Copies of this chain bind each other. A is one copy, B any other.
Amino acid sequence: MSQHDSTETASPAPEPEAGRAELRRAAFLEAARDVFLEFGYEQANMAEIVRRAGGSLSTLYAQFGGKKGLFEAMIDSRVGELTEQMQVELAAHAPLREGLQRIGEAFLTKQTQPESLEVMRLMVAQAKKFPEIAETWAKRAPEAVRKALATYLEDRAKAGEIRIENYDLAASVYFDLVRSRLQFRSLLLPNYRPTEAEIREVVERAVKVFIGGIEAL
């Protein structure tokens, strides 16, 4: 009776051909994500997760072994999704300034969204307790984005718009320029949320400095 809505909570069905156990599992993971992100690892309450997911505490423990196991499973299930969420739709063959601007704004907009920030806070906070998790996170996500930008830069370089020696390096530099201040501020000021205008301005600045300075490498 308390879990009347167990399946409602379970968002779009993950896999159409999922057994009961799979459904339970998906619902648990989703609720776990919400609760862990909202309260942080230590403050997250197992009972609260069950309350949101429906189902029972017993099943949760049977499936994940405990809080730690649930947390790890939750992160695992999100890594792919969140990585591709980081994926900047690279602006195909757009001219350099326009392409960099679009990519930069998209990246920064995603990075400063509440959910991304929550994930980041959780990762940073738990880096010592869950080293492997933070590690895969720290390596996979940035790499994906960097590769995408590097490809775009190579495209532009071959079009003669800019001269770049090391595309990966250049991509790193650009993201450093774009990200830094706003990400830092957003992480520490939970109520601060950059406006579109601020983002545009920061990115415009980054584009100018990047184009002007990158050939000096």
Residues of A within 8 A of B (CB): 40, 42-43, 120-121, 123-125, 127-128, 131, 134-135, 137-138, 142, 169, 172-173, 175-177, 179-181, 184-185, 187-191, 205, 208-217
Shortest Cβ distance from residue A90 to the other chain B in the assembled complex, whole angstroms = 20
Shortest Cβ gap from A107 to chain B (Å)? 13
Give chain B residues whose Cβ lies under 8 Å from the Cβ of A177: 173, 176-177, 180
CB distance from A204 to the nearest CB of B (A): 10
Chain B hits for A123, CB < 8 A? 188
Residues of B within 8 A of A175 (CB): 180
Inter-chain contact A127/B40, CB cutoff 8 Å: no
Count the copies.
2
A173 touches B209 (CB 8 A): yes
CB–CB B188/A138 < 8 A = yes
Query: Chain B residue with minimal CB distance to A118?
Result: B128
Q: Which partner residue on chain B sits nearest A131 by CB separation?
A: B190
A205 touching B189, Cβ below 8 Å: no
Q: Please, how many angstroms separate the alpha-carbon atoms of A30 and B120 in the complex?
A: 29
22 contacts between A and B (CB under 8 A): A121-B124, A121-B127, A124-B125, A124-B187, A124-B188, A125-B125, A128-B190, A135-B189, A142-B184, A173-B177, A175-B180, A176-B176, A177-B177, A180-B180, A208-B213, A208-B216, A209-B214, A210-B213, A212-B212, A212-B214, A212-B215, A213-B213
